Chains A and B, each alone.
Chain A
Amino acid sequence: MRTKIVYDKPGRIRFRAGAYAFEPEHESRIHKACVANSYVKNAIVHSENGGILIEYESGFREQLIEFIQKLNPATLPDGEPDAAYQLQALDSKFKNKLAFMLARRYLFKWFVPLPVRTAIHIYKGLKYVMKGLDILSQGKLTVEVLDGAAIGASILQKNYNSAGTIMFLLNVSSLLEEYTKARTRTALTASLAVKVDTVWIVKDGVDVQMHLQDVKEGDLVRIRSGAMIPVDGTVIEGDAFVNEATMTGESRAVHKSAGKSVFAGTILDEGSIVVSVRAVNGNTKIQKIIELIDQSEDLKASIQSKAERLADGIVPYSFLGFGLTLLLTRNVTKAVSILMVDYSCAIKLSTPISVISALREAADHDITVKGGKYLEEFALADTIIFDKTGTLTKAEPKLERVIPFEGRSEEEVLRIAACIEEHFPHSMARAIVRGAFDREIDHEEEHADVQYIVAHGIATTLNGERAVIGSKHFVIEDELVSVGDSEQRRIDELAGAASVIYLAIGGKLAGVLCISDPPRDEAAEAIHMLRKRGIKHVAMITGDSQKAAERTAQLLGIDTFFAQVLPEDKHRYVEKMKAEGHRVIMVGDGINDAPALAAANVSVALSDASDIARETADVTLRSEDLRDLAELKDLSSQLMDKIQANYHFIVTFNTALLAAGFFGILAPSTSALLHNLSTMGICAKSMMPLKQHAPTKRN
């Protein structure tokens, strides 16, 4: 590409190829190609003037110049632009649009003759009036009616400049709103899209693990209980009940057998199926969530819905004020200034912008919040309940010890356990698989199809015998496997405070696996931070033994703990706390936590949580750092404070304007200008980050 260097300082160089050097759609390709070089720190590309700004590591100047010279935008591979580029492009587009609007307004004012200007104002103003009349004819009295009335009144009074100013400021406000929404949507998509999923592909009758991005059309994917279906496709074999709530909104499980279609983003509740891939559509779920955030009334913060209702509710009073002023003063100018000023548009605009900006800011802090409502609930919550395993404890529990019985070796017990557990996305299962890997134990598939008994364990057939692995409750009480006194003594002696997983084959205890589960390093600090931010009650629920739970609670300073809780009972504790008048945050990670997560006022899943937990939870953390909960508590409280502060400002300022209009201190055009400027100002302020410091990235 033929370019000239217009700026050249160590670490920063700007090339310019001029207008028409490449098309706007080439921008993302050039950006991608530039940042693909390891020495390039950042690149900004503009097609308007063919500019490429590059920040790079020192010592690579010559290499970079050569790279740009050889660059041919037309031959660069096409691809999805990355989030950083999309955000950059959005910012640049917004600034250009704003500058263009300002330039157009002033050029129009200075150079267009008055009669033409008047005609254009009337023509444009009539559109607002018609829209207002249209809404009025439907029996509604909304902000649009007020806008139309204010513009119409200005035109009737031959005050065309006022009409022009109102229309211009309304356009700027809607540009601001559009920009904030687009930016939030992009940031959220990026924050949700980063997770790299793996799937099990059936190849020549053997299950092989593969990255989702490598899956092709026609591949056969095996999906088991509790997993999210990662592709659109047709069931080839097996039977399953699939929860299609993400697609249809109905949470009843649908039976799927050979020949039926399944869709990406839905959850397999029970069973196991093999699906022939029709389309790999990893973004379906993400798009769904974003659409939900954007559109769903149910997900709006109640403060936002209230603001919107309030905004429209105020409109009749503005008209009443107009009528009364006209009646009392007999002065149309004074009456019109009441129409020029209203509380509604500022409240209606600033509240959703504040909420959506907070959602974006949360995404920047690696926290995905699925709606404004949950930020509000987080701010109001006074109680937090943690699941223990995998949430309060380390994300990577460690296999400490294998205790074999029935004359089996440690290696044999671990090999069988790892072979069965490897299909399931739970931290305990991962610990066993990793334990086998660390001990260099190969485990080939020896068992038949595995059946996952939600939150209890796994059952399968191994060499013609029933093999079960899971909690004590599952293996001993449900499966009626007997444990002798001497075996129990040995387990108690060797396991200590570790969690114990039982493996039984053919109805006899084959061995137990002791998994130590130390608390996360930051857990105690996170709880302390949450207390400082208004959480009064910290509780923990676990299926673990009393001993293990007590030890963790002591270490972390937890007020209440519930040990040996059956998975199906977890949600009862959440409901009990809610019934006592607490507003509850539930933090969990496993499939078994899903009912409890759904029962809480607001729920949080960690990044390594199972698909179903992430799907159920209202908030997901991407950073695996519990301190982000305190960060979110800050953010949500600050959001509520900001909305309140905005509300007070809007009411005070506009009341002052109304009074000034009523007493004839301000002309309607000045009122309109001040009112709309304050609305724009409050919208711009609402877009500002709530937290002063940049998000800290922790390792």
Chain B
Amino acid sequence: MSIWKNEKFWCVVGGAVGSAIAKKILKAPKTREYAVKGLAHGMKFTADAKATFQDMKDEAADICNDAKKEAGK
């Protein structure tokens, strides 16, 4: 049987080509740029979420404080 008709052979070739392309993509400056951008967005999102959560906690604490004062009158 000709090697060209062997399915496994093409799988190996496909895998090797796929790895080479994947390596190229991973090392490409554009990929790095997108990854950095993505990470930065993620970090900003986390920081913003933390700030929003802290704002909410602060406001809740203020409302609770007012309620306590009111009840104590």
A: which residues have CB within 8 A of B? 6-7, 9, 12, 14, 16, 18-20, 46, 48-51, 53, 95-96, 99
Give the Cβ gap from B42 to chain A, nearest Cβ, in Å: 14
B58: contacting residue among A9, A14, A18, A95, CB under 8 A:
A14
Q: Which residues of B contact A51 (CB under 8 A)?
A: 54-55, 58
- In the complex, are the beta carbons of B58 and A53 less than 8 A apart? yes
A18: contacting residue among B51, B57, B69, CB under 8 A:
B51
A12: contacting residue among B54, B55, B65, CB under 8 A:
B65
Q: Which residues of B contact A18 (CB under 8 A)?
A: 51
- In the complex, are the beta carbons of B54 and A9 less than 8 A apart? no
- In the complex, are the beta carbons of A99 and B54 less than 8 A apart? no
Q: Which interface residue of B48, B54, B61, B65 has the most chain A CB atoms within 10 A?
A: B54
Q: Which residues of B contact A48 (CB under 8 A)?
A: 47, 50-51, 53-54
A49: contacting residue among B55, B61, B65, CB under 8 A:
B55
B: which residues have CB within 8 A of A? 47-48, 50-55, 57-59, 61-62, 65-66, 69
With A9-B66, A49-B52 known, 17 other A-B pairs at CB within 8 A are: A7-B58, A7-B59, A12-B65, A14-B62, A16-B55, A16-B58, A18-B51, A19-B47, A20-B47, A46-B54, A48-B50, A48-B53, A51-B55, A95-B57, A96-B50, A96-B53, A99-B53
Complex Cα–Cα for A217 and B61 (A): 47
Complex Cα–Cα for A49 and B53 (A): 9
Give the Cβ gap from B71 to chain A, nearest Cβ, in Å: 15
Q: Which residue of A lies closest to B61 (CB)?
A: A53
Complex Cα–Cα for A18 and B52 (A): 10
Complex Cα–Cα for A49 and B50 (A): 8
Complex Cα–Cα for A51 and B55 (A): 8
Complex Cα–Cα for A7 and B8 (A): 71
Complex Cα–Cα for A566 and B69 (A): 61
A-B contact pairs, 15 of them (CB 8 A): A7-B58, A7-B62, A14-B62, A16-B58, A19-B50, A19-B51, A48-B50, A48-B53, A49-B51, A49-B54, A49-B55, A50-B51, A95-B57, A96-B50, A96-B53
Give the Cβ gap from B11 to chain A, nearest Cβ, in Å: 23
Q: Which residues of B contact A7 (CB under 8 A)?
A: 58-59, 62
Q: Which residues of A contact B52 (CB under 8 A)?
A: 49
- In the complex, are the beta carbons of A19 and B48 less than 8 A apart? yes
Give the Cβ gap from A17 to chain B, nearest Cβ, in Å: 11
Complex Cα–Cα for A6 and B54 (A): 13
Q: Which residues of A contact B51 (CB under 8 A)?
A: 18-19, 48-50
Interface pairs A-B: 4 shortest CB-CB: A19-B51, A49-B54, A48-B54, A49-B51
- In the complex, are the beta carbons of B66 and A49 less than 8 A apart? no
Summarize B's interface: helix, strand, loop or mixed: helix
Give the Cβ gap from A21 to chain B, nearest Cβ, in Å: 10
Q: Which residues of A contact B61 (CB under 8 A)?
A: 53
Q: Which residues of B contact A50 (CB under 8 A)?
A: 51
Give the Cβ gap from A27 to chain B, nearest Cβ, in Å: 12
Q: Which residues of A contact B65 (CB under 8 A)?
A: 9, 12
Q: Which residues of B contact A19 (CB under 8 A)?
A: 47-48, 50-51
Q: Which residues of A contact B50 (CB under 8 A)?
A: 19, 48-49, 96
Complex Cα–Cα for A19 and B50 (A): 9
Q: Which residues of B contact A49 (CB under 8 A)?
A: 50-52, 54-55, 58
Q: Which residues of A contact B54 (CB under 8 A)?
A: 46, 48-49, 51
Complex Cα–Cα for A50 and B66 (A): 22
Give the Cβ gap from B50 to chain A, nearest Cβ, in Å: 4
Complex Cα–Cα for A95 and B57 (A): 10
Complex Cα–Cα for A22 and B47 (A): 13
Q: Which residues of B contact A9 (CB under 8 A)?
A: 65-66, 69
Complex Cα–Cα for A46 and B55 (A): 10
Q: Which residue of B lies closest to A55 (CB)?
A: B65
Q: Which residues of A contact B57 (CB under 8 A)?
A: 95
Q: Which residues of A contact B59 (CB under 8 A)?
A: 6-7
Q: Which residue of B lies closest to A53 (CB)?
A: B58
Give the Cβ gap from A55 to chain B, nearest Cβ, in Å: 10
Q: Which residue of B lies closest to A10 (CB)?
A: B69
Complex Cα–Cα for A6 and B52 (A): 14
Complex Cα–Cα for A46 and B59 (A): 13
Give the Cβ gap from B69 to chain A, nearest Cβ, in Å: 8
Q: Which interface residue of B52, B53, B58 has the most chain A CB atoms within 10 A?
A: B58
Give the Cβ gap from B59 to chain A, nearest Cβ, in Å: 8
Complex Cα–Cα for A48 and B61 (A): 16
Complex Cα–Cα for A12 and B69 (A): 12
Give the Cβ gap from B39 to chain A, nearest Cβ, in Å: 17
Q: Which residues of B contact A6 (CB under 8 A)?
A: 58-59
Complex Cα–Cα for A420 and B66 (A): 61
Give the Cβ gap from A333 to chain B, nearest Cβ, in Å: 39
Complex Cα–Cα for A95 and B50 (A): 12
Give the Cβ gap from A461 to chain B, nearest Cβ, in Å: 68
Complex Cα–Cα for A50 and B54 (A): 9
Q: Which residue of A lies closest to B57 (CB)?
A: A95
Q: Which residues of A contact B62 (CB under 8 A)?
A: 7, 14
Give the Cβ gap from A6 to chain B, nearest Cβ, in Å: 7
Q: Which interface residue of A7, A9, A48, A51 has the most chain B CB atoms within 10 A?
A: A48
Q: Which residues of A contact B55 (CB under 8 A)?
A: 16, 49, 51
Complex Cα–Cα for A95 and B59 (A): 16
Complex Cα–Cα for A672 and B47 (A): 34
Complex Cα–Cα for A14 and B60 (A): 13
Give the Cβ gap from B43 to chain A, nearest Cβ, in Å: 11
Give the Cβ gap from A107 to chain B, nearest Cβ, in Å: 11
Q: Which residue of A lies closest to B48 (CB)?
A: A19
Give the Cβ gap from A224 to chain B, nearest Cβ, in Å: 53
Complex Cα–Cα for A114 and B70 (A): 49
Give the Cβ gap from A334 to chain B, nearest Cβ, in Å: 42
Complex Cα–Cα for A16 and B69 (A): 23
Give the Cβ gap from B46 to chain A, nearest Cβ, in Å: 9
Complex Cα–Cα for A343 and B6 (A): 60
Q: Which interface residue of B47, B48, B51, B66 has the most chain A CB atoms within 10 A?
A: B51
Complex Cα–Cα for A114 and B1 (A): 43
Q: Which residue of A lies closest to B63 (CB)?
A: A7
Give the Cβ gap from B7 to chain A, nearest Cβ, in Å: 27
Give the Cβ gap from A63 to chain B, nearest Cβ, in Å: 22
Q: Which residues of B contact A14 (CB under 8 A)?
A: 58, 62
